[in-house]
Structure 1
Amino acid sequence: MDTLESLVIARRLRVPIGGAPAGAASGWGETAARQLDAALLSVGFTCSPALLERLSGLRGETVVDLGIRVLAAVRTLVGDHVRHNAYFLNFPRNVPDTLEFWAGLLREALLDPVAAARVETSTLNLLSLPGYGRYRHTYADLLAAHAELIPLAGDRVTVLELGGSLESEARELYFSLAGSEVPLAAEDLAALRLLAGFCADEPERIPVRENRAIVNEVRLAEGRPLLVDTVTDVLRLACGCSGGDVTLAEPTRFRSFRRAERRALLAALDAVASPARLGDVPRHREAWKRLGERLHPHEYPRFPRARAVFETARGTRRAPSLDGRVETALSAGRTAEAVKLLEQAPGALLRRLDHLLRTAPSTTAVLDAAEGAASSASGRVLLSLREHLQNRLAPAAGRVFVNRHGRAWATPDSRSPLEEEALARALAILDEEIARRLPDPGELIVDPDVLDVALPLSGKAVVPGLGMLPRGSVSAVDGELLRFFVHWHEARRRTDYDLSALMLDDTYDGPEHISWTNHTNGFARYSGDLTEAPEGASEFIDLRLAAATRPIIIPQVNIYAGEGFDEAAEAFFGYMTRDAAQEGRPFEPRTVRMKSDLRGAGRIALPLVFLRGADGGWLVKWLHLYLKGHPGFNQVEGNRVSASLLVRSIVERDFLRVRYLADLMRAKSSPAGHTTYIGLEAPAGLPEGARVHTPGTLHELIPA
């Protein structure tokens, strides 16, 4: 129950209270509430007036117990649940020059007889010098060396709202995740699985198939009918029930199923395994063959179509897929035939529209087919195609490809341009259909700061956290000092992560860098290199923005040795902003603007990029990218070319933003009896029953 409560607090910034017993008239509840609010303020959070009033009416003991859980949840959200020490005690002051630092370590080693005996000058490894890569002072020493943070009005203060009962808050979050029109991140899928086991109800519509598989796990356990309409839905469910990957990106080792489970899975498969749908089976042939060994379809003669699925997987039955027939037609130059085939799958037709427009003898027939398909495709497909086509209006620096884990690569754009008339008609078709699907917002209120936030057309690579926005989103950076941080805790073996920053000019050239090989330049300081983290380790980079000589700053986390991001016990990245006069420790939770976990198979993380605007102010653009890198010894100097090309491709891409949907919604707004608010935070004073969309619920704006 505590896990569920923490989930609601972290995802909704609402404290579930519901029908907690009222307090006595002693005022102890009010005192405890004020103490909780003060403790929250120290980490950059505060209670809303309604929450503070409700807490004040509870028994003091109840407020204390609840406060402990709330404080733990928000401290984890902001990254303050661990002790952030720094290698250099006085960081960002007194950071030594790199050569001076190495010379000092070498001098210490040679003056120590025991250490000197281990130093072989012919094969000197600087990283193995005594004292390198390990904290040389305690966390208490660090606190004593730094003045207190001076609180300023510009510090982040995130408001925690009063929630209803835990059941109602969990149900609302469950419906939001399960009914999402966009694929969810792995962390969101885990949250959905927890919520599905707790909530009795479920939304009427579950469009994303990974979400449907998780809901089906509960239905299968309870013996209820399954929600499947393709054979792959059954495969996803079997993977989920076996503790595997419902996205089918990773192979699953299927468990043994009980007879009732086998019967339910085969019955669901038999109901949807029409001859036309057997073409989907070869795409996951090996998984189907392994599942067949667990389901024993030969024991159930009353499910002949289910047996046909496994016959197709084994190759004893032939079932050409729609994609295969389309590819055959296109490779033979029969575009008209390919369009005719794709009319059976509107989403697939729209996803191939660019290719069809470039290869068809006449674009008119292709656009007529696209116009017919638009009304049947999902809203996410329409918006994704809209973003793709608007980027065909101007040549791009390169094409960037990102998989579901955030792994990215870029190639030059060698596609021929589209005809302007065809492109204009395609955009008009999409705009008209998207506008038709949007609901009447009533009175529409939009915070200007949210207009440049990208629409969340996929959440797979975006790890939930504090201040997180979809890839391509742009927001302003306030403050004189910018400080990146990374923290990791190794699980089983020595692990060395390196926080670095690549700095480029306007042409994405003229590189400078800050890392363990270059501690300082004219405007940046590195906190020192830590090479192991048995109890956790933190690294920082501090930048004075006004003095920056490069307009593009790309923080990155390189895995030099040891465990990957998804293997470590904990790994997260974030950034802080503060004024120069604030002093404070290297990590101050109330100055944290963004924090999220690191994960993925890549060995180099590129979370975001900082850009100096035309007016001299600084902006941040979210990347959520990972480079493959090398198994070990990754350094910022070694990935400069690939990182700069990827970042340039993202920076120059025209992402579809909240501004686009807000303009379409504004044209449909009417003085109805409700209000729709879109912003970074929900303000006080909104009318009762207002529909509120903040970054955590922007996916609810995507039309069905």
Structure 2
Amino acid sequence: MTFTAAHTILLRRQGLLFVEAGTAALPSNFLEAFEINLAKLGYAVSTRLRQRLQTISTEALTLLQAQVWSVLAENLGGHRTHVPLYRKFPDDVPADTSGLWRRRVLSHFMQAEGQPCLHCGQTGTTHVLNPCMHVVCDQCFDGSNYSACPICERQVDRQSAFFRREPATGMSTENVRLKLLDLGVSAAQAARALFGSFCERTQAMSPVDVADLSAIVTEYGAEVLPWLPATMPVRENIAHVFGTLLRQCGPAVAMPAAAPYMNTATDVLRLVASYSGADPGLLPQTVVREFTLAEARKKKPYRQLFAHSYYDRYTSLKLPVEINRFKMAKLGRPLRRALMAFMESLPAESMTEDMLRHRSYWIWLGEFLHPAEYRLRFPKVALAFEIVRGKAPDGSRAPAWLTYYGKLEAAINLSDAGSMTALLLQRPGELARRFDHALRIAGDDQAAVEALLAGLERCAPQLSTPVLLTLHALLPTRGTRATSRVYWPKGSVVNGVFARDTRAVLAPAAIARSVAIVERELLARFAGKPGVGDFIIDTRLKTIMVPFNERTASPAAIQLPRGSTIGIAPDKTIRLFLHWCEPERAHCNTDLDLSVGFYDAQWQHVGTCSYYQRELQGEFGRIAVSAGDLTSAPYPDGASEFIDLDCLVAEKHGIRYAVAVVNNYSGQAFEELEHAFVGLMLRGDTGGDHFDPRTVEMKFNLQGGDGIFMPMVLDLEKKSLHWLDVYSRGNLEFNNVASSNTAITSICPTMIDYFASGVRANMFDLALLHAAARAQRVLLRGERNIVIERIAGESASQFLQRLRGGEGADVAAFDLRHDQQTMAALLDGDMVLPQATLAYILKPGVMAGTLSASDYLA
């Protein structure tokens, strides 16, 4: 039975298994064993799938089980062995962390082999651990509890007599809701539909989507060419498709197919980047370079390192720096000629200006394209490279070039509203991105305001849906000044930057007219899509943000968009987990630390659970406990850390917020590790196996090189989880909650307030826009189930107002119309819908979604 990359993707994303009907009669005990094993991961099989499996052989089922287990377990983090420092966790965790630290230090410096134990005085009780060579006493340190050296807490040879038999564990007693796996009809058709949805995305994709798109193109090769849509809105996605195709099929196949989708020089640069395995977003690449101590002191981002003398003992330091270039793949002559031939077909002026926007990258690419060799064949390309380099091959200066953005910035600096508007109207995308700024510059100049509003109405059909939706959410908030203004710089990970909001507020009339223009365009755009009979919308999606800046989203099992808030069960124990593994040929140990910082309602620090305080106790009981701090993660098993948090006890102690923090204490950057992921489980039973895949609520991979990752904030008063997914640079080493406190108490409350302000669109509002434009009947599903039916002759705008007002009839049950297409937007897949339903489901259950959040933006 062949299990391809497409099978893996469709199983992980849509819960579908594609099994060909056989002629065998599978023994019932084999199928029962298959289902029992799946249940250990939290999955069950549908009736259709069970009937199909009964027709295949035992050998085929055995192979299928291994493949399915591998995919689903990896998605949840259950594919790794999770053994924390304290194997009896959450029991037998030393409460006196300071006392334990003193014993460790004394043992490190003073305990010698063959001598009586420093602490208990007994002889014959010590053991030398390999390779750290620490001498440990089995009377002072419990060898049945520790999984690593008690002194340095690094992984060691477990064959030592110090380590006694591991305590017996088993599956915890959990009441979990199983997720359903269903039978797929055609893997090729499903892969084609998924490929099409990727290509039609209207914003840059997340790392998970990029990997899945590339895998489909790699598997099907030139077969994807007939699957291509007429247009692909996002330049980066074009590069992903054809960059992968270039590697698979070569320029003779890929370049003619790519040409209709490209029309700028930057498209060529993105294509080469993707072909080379780099990010076509053209983000700066982070590399580590060695500097002398004197040179390092001059580096602005690292000046704070030298406030103390720790680094003075070094003669040099290896520091991360950003460069505007990438490792270039081999560019053969046929490919170089094809690239330059395409560029030669572009208008010379726009091509040159486009190249100047990414000057560093083009200077780098020119070293491999060798445009001077083709001066006679491609003269426009050769001249453009001379301008980009600032000189011709003979050393003479190239002519000066005033770019569009230079003219625009000049108009802004002069507060020339007329010139700025005229320039913005030349490029609709720039008009949308700078519309707020343009209205502020126009101020009380009514003629300039009218020109901008007229320009917006004229350009609206040319704007992408995400841009329109951003304006639709942002503009209504601009009638008052925000507490803070948040920026999202382009980068490989998110470092939210914020400052005091000094912008002048916008006039209410301008806001109202702008929002009306944008809303009309969105409704008209969605009305052009196929109509649906019934549209089911979960009201809990009001706290789920529409994805933005997805290229920086952490790869996750559940794609929860940044800024979203979901409810948590207060009666469950929250078990945070961290796992990482060093590369096979790593020459240094790595130490990541999982910590939780606790804060009151005013964001005053209350306590910490981390490597330096492993148990946080209070008057009403234990608030949190850590499974210990492992300081190495050798290949291939890596290392795992856990923290258990009792929300009810924490709240009794006046704790409002619990912030999960992953600190890179020492060693390699997150992105350089073999793998690294973090997440949380909701445990009703904290006994049994430390890691139970059935209870995994969220799991996401670590990325980037920054020292501090703040994925989530738990609001214990509101019983909710805020998903922030932000990084902070921190220090090169020694990051912990204490050193990160300033970043935590500034970033977390600012981000929570920012997303709560409504400045970002949510999935509920986006679903309402689709429903108003496309549906005949809408079910608003929440504390009340309300059915609202379109009135004959009612416009989309009028229907939208009724949907927002919830003007409908309460119903206890809802019968779907099966003669028309059904659409759904749900937080949980906890209701049975027709198999062909177009559904966005954040958390799969008895149903898995066939749409992603980004598909609503297409």
TM-score of the aligned structures, taking structure 2 as reference length: 0.75
Superposed CA RMSD:
2.8
Give the aligned partner of residue 222 of structure 1: 253
User: Residue 101 of structure 2 aligns to which amino acid in structure 1?
Assistant: W
Choose the corresponding residue for 2:413, options 306, 331, 338: 331
- Give how far 1:379 is off: 0.7
Give the aligned partner of residue 228 of structure 2: 203
- Whether 1:241 and 2:275 are equivalent positions in the alignment is yes
- Whether 1:285 and 2:359 are equivalent positions in the alignment is yes
**Is the Cα contact below 8 Å between 1:196 and 1:214 reproduced in 2?**
no
Which segment drifts farther, 541-550 or 317-326?
Answer: 317-326
Q: Distance in 2 between matches of 1:216 and 1:326?
A: 33
Give the aligned partner of residue 674 of structure 1: 821
Cα deviation code 1:34-91 (max 9, x no counterpart): 3222101112122222222221222222111111100011111111111111212322
- Give how far 1:634 is off: 0.7
Choose the corresponding residue for 2:734, options 600, 623, 633: 633
- Whether 1:469 and 2:555 are equivalent positions in the alignment is no
Give the aligned partner of residue 513 of structure 1: 608
Aligned residues: 687
**Is the Cα contact below 8 Å between 1:86 and 1:135 reproduced in 2?**
no
- Give how far 1:167 is off: 2.5
Q: Distance in 2 between matches of 1:390 and 1:93?
A: 52
- Whether 1:264 and 2:338 are equivalent positions in the alignment is yes
- Give how far 1:117 is off: 12
Provide closer, same or farther for how the CA distance between residues 141 and 460 of structure 1 changes in structure 2, counting only shifts above 3 A: farther
- Whether 1:359 and 2:441 are equivalent positions in the alignment is yes
Matches within 5 A, 1:315-394: 315=390, 316-361=398-443, 362=445, 363-394=449-480
User: Residue 99 of structure 2 aligns to which amino acid in structure 1?
Assistant: E
Provide closer, same or farther for how the CA distance between residues 40 and 317 of structure 1 changes in structure 2, counting only shifts above 3 A: farther
Matches within 5 A, 1:292-691: 292-298=366-372, 299=374, 301-315=376-390, 316-361=398-443, 362=445, 363-402=449-488, 403-404=490-491, 405-438=493-526, 439=529, 440-478=531-569, 479-491=571-583, 492=586, 493-521=588-616, 522=618, 523-534=623-634, 535-548=637-650, 549-579=654-684, 581=685, 583-614=687-718, 618-653=719-754, 654=758, 655-668=760-773, 669-670=775-776, 673-682=820-829, 685-691=832-838
Choose the corresponding residue for 2:11, options 6, 9, 12: 9
- Give how far 1:183 is off: 0.7
**Is the Cα contact below 8 Å between 1:485 and 1:574 reproduced in 2?**
yes
Cα deviation code 1:480-511 (max 9, x no counterpart): 21111100111212000010112222222244
Q: Distance in 1 between matches of 2:170 and 2:457?
A: 64
- Give how far 1:388 is off: 2.9
Give the aligned partner of residue 133 of structure 1: 153
Cα deviation code 1:76-135 (max 9, x no counterpart): 11111111112123222232222232244356558833499999xxxxx9xx99623236
Q: Distance in 2 between matches of 1:141 and 1:679?
A: 49
Q: Distance in 1 between matches of 2:117 and 2:440?
A: 67
**Is the Cα contact below 8 Å between 2:98 and 2:612 reproduced in 1?**
no
**Is the Cα contact below 8 Å between 1:443 and 1:670 reproduced in 2?**
yes
Q: Distance in 2 between matches of 1:435 and 1:264?
A: 42
- Give how far 1:444 is off: 0.4
User: Residue 670 of structure 1 aligns to which amino acid in structure 2?
Assistant: Q
Which segment drifts farther, 190-199 or 320-329?
Answer: 190-199
- Give how far 1:394 is off: 4.8
Cα deviation code 1:371-409 (max 9, x no counterpart): 222221111111122333344355444233334322333
**Is the Cα contact below 8 Å between 1:109 and 1:116 reproduced in 2?**
no
SS of 1:566 mapped into structure 2 = helix
Q: Distance in 2 between matches of 1:627 and 1:531?
A: 22
Cα deviation code 1:293-344 (max 9, x no counterpart): 3223342634333334323312324443222211011101212111111101
Provide closer, same or farther for how the CA distance between residues 481 and 256 of structure 1 changes in structure 2, counting only shifts above 3 A: closer
Which segment drifts farther, 67-76 or 86-95?
Answer: 86-95
Give the aligned partner of residue 112 of structure 2: 113
Matches within 5 A, 1:49-198: 49-97=47-95, 98-106=97-105, 112-114=111-113, 131-134=151-154, 144-146=167-169, 148-152=171-175, 155-198=176-219
Provide closer, same or farther for how the CA distance between residues 628 and 221 of structure 1 changes in structure 2, counting only shifts above 3 A: farther
Provide closer, same or farther for how the CA distance between residues 676 and 267 of structure 1 changes in structure 2, counting only shifts above 3 A: same
Instruction: Give unmatched runs, 5+ long, in structure 2.
Output: 119-133, 135-147, 286-324, 391-397, 778-818, 843-848
Q: Distance in 1 between matches of 2:252 and 2:738?
A: 52
Provide closer, same or farther for how the CA distance between residues 395 and 553 of structure 1 changes in structure 2, counting only shifts above 3 A: farther
Which segment drifts farther, 49-58 or 67-76?
Answer: 49-58
Provide closer, same or farther for how the CA distance between residues 257 and 688 of structure 1 changes in structure 2, counting only shifts above 3 A: same
User: Residue 494 of structure 1 aligns to which amino acid in structure 2?
Assistant: N
Give the aligned partner of residue 239 of structure 2: 213
Choose the corresponding residue for 1:36, options 30, 34, 37: 34
**Is the Cα contact below 8 Å between 1:565 and 1:599 reproduced in 2?**
yes
**Is the Cα contact below 8 Å between 2:575 and 2:642 reproduced in 1?**
yes
Provide closer, same or farther for how the CA distance between residues 327 and 21 of structure 1 changes in structure 2, counting only shifts above 3 A: same
User: Residue 852 of structure 2 aligns to which amino acid in structure 1?
Assistant: L
User: Residue 261 of structure 1 aligns to which amino acid in structure 2?
Assistant: L
User: Residue 325 of structure 1 aligns to which amino acid in structure 2?
Assistant: K
Structure number with larger C-alpha Rg: 2
- Give how far 1:465 is off: 2.3
**Is the Cα contact below 8 Å between 1:185 and 1:459 reproduced in 2?**
yes
Q: Distance in 2 between matches of 1:339 and 1:602?
A: 39
SS of 2:550 mapped into structure 1 = coil
Which segment drifts farther, 197-206 or 320-329?
Answer: 197-206
SS of 2:852 mapped into structure 1 = helix
User: Residue 257 of structure 1 aligns to which amino acid in structure 2?
Assistant: L
SS of 2:462 mapped into structure 1 = coil
**Is the Cα contact below 8 Å between 2:90 and 2:686 reproduced in 1?**
no
- Give how far 1:453 is off: 1.5
Q: Distance in 2 between matches of 1:145 and 1:103?
A: 31
Q: Distance in 1 between matches of 2:503 and 2:630?
A: 46
Bigger relative contact order, structure 1 or 2, given CA contacts below 8 A and separation 6+? 1
- Give how far 1:637 is off: 0.6
Give the aligned partner of residue 796 of structure 2: none
SS of 1:357 mapped into structure 2 = helix
Give the aligned partner of residue 122 of structure 1: none
Provide closer, same or farther for how the CA distance between residues 664 and 190 of structure 1 changes in structure 2, counting only shifts above 3 A: closer
- Give how far 1:631 is off: 0.9
Q: Distance in 2 between matches of 1:495 and 1:86?
A: 16
